[in-house]
């Protein structure tokens, strides 16, 4: 399983050339790809704060993005919450939940965030 960090999910749909070469290769070859539920919250927050502009409302964009790219939405479970709470890095709570989701699912994480790369999981960029 490959889990996309929030920015990687957005870039996959809006500007795939921004993804790293290894990330594009991994995404092409993997049939199991997911997004953490907290990424939906991050996207909605970015849109609400005018830090991200989408071509439609955020709910429609996310639903179509999940279906169109055959991405599985991975829930925030008690296990994800518990694993995330024990992490020292990253400090950002949403990033902790994304890392916790990756760890609970044994997933590699597609991210350009170097702070996440220190979280004791395999990252791809």
Average pLDDT, the chain: 95
Nearest to 83 by CA among 65, 69, 103, 63: 103
Q: What is the residue extent of each domain of the chain?
A: 2-124
How far lies 119's CA from each of 1, 66, 88, 91, in Å?
18, 26, 8, 10
Per-residue model confidence as pLDDT tens digits over 60-75: 999 999 999 899 999 9
pLDDT at 25: 97
pLDDT of 114 > 90? The answer is no
pLDDT of 48 > 90? The answer is yes
pLDDT at 120: 80
pLDDT of 88 > 80? The answer is yes
Q: Which CATH architecture has domain 2-124?
A: 3-Layer(aba) Sandwich (3.40)
pLDDT at 84: 96
Using pLDDT thresholds of 50, 70 and 90, give the confidence band for residue 83: very high
Nearest to 118 by CA among 97, 87, 93: 87
> Could you give the percent of the chain with pLDDT greater than 90?
90
pLDDT at 45: 98
- DSSP 8-state symbol, 124: E
Per-residue model confidence as pLDDT tens digits over 13-42: 999 999 999 999 999 999 999 999 999 999
């Amino acid at each position: 399983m490959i889990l996309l960090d929030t920015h990687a999910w957005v870039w996959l749909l809006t500007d795939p050339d921004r993804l790293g070469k290894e990330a594009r290769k991994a995404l092409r070859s993997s049939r199991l790809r997911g997004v953490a539920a907290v990424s939906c919250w991050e996207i909605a927050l970015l849109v609400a704060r005018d830090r991200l502009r989408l071509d439609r409302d955020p709910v429609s964009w996310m639903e179509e993005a999940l279906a169109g790219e055959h991405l599985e939405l991975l829930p925030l479970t008690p296990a994800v919450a518990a694993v995330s709470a024990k992490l020292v890095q990253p400090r950002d709570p949403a990033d902790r939940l994304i890392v916790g989701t990756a760890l609970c699912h044994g997933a590699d994480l597609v991210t350009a965030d170097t702070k996440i790369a220190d979280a004791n999981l395999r990252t791809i960029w």
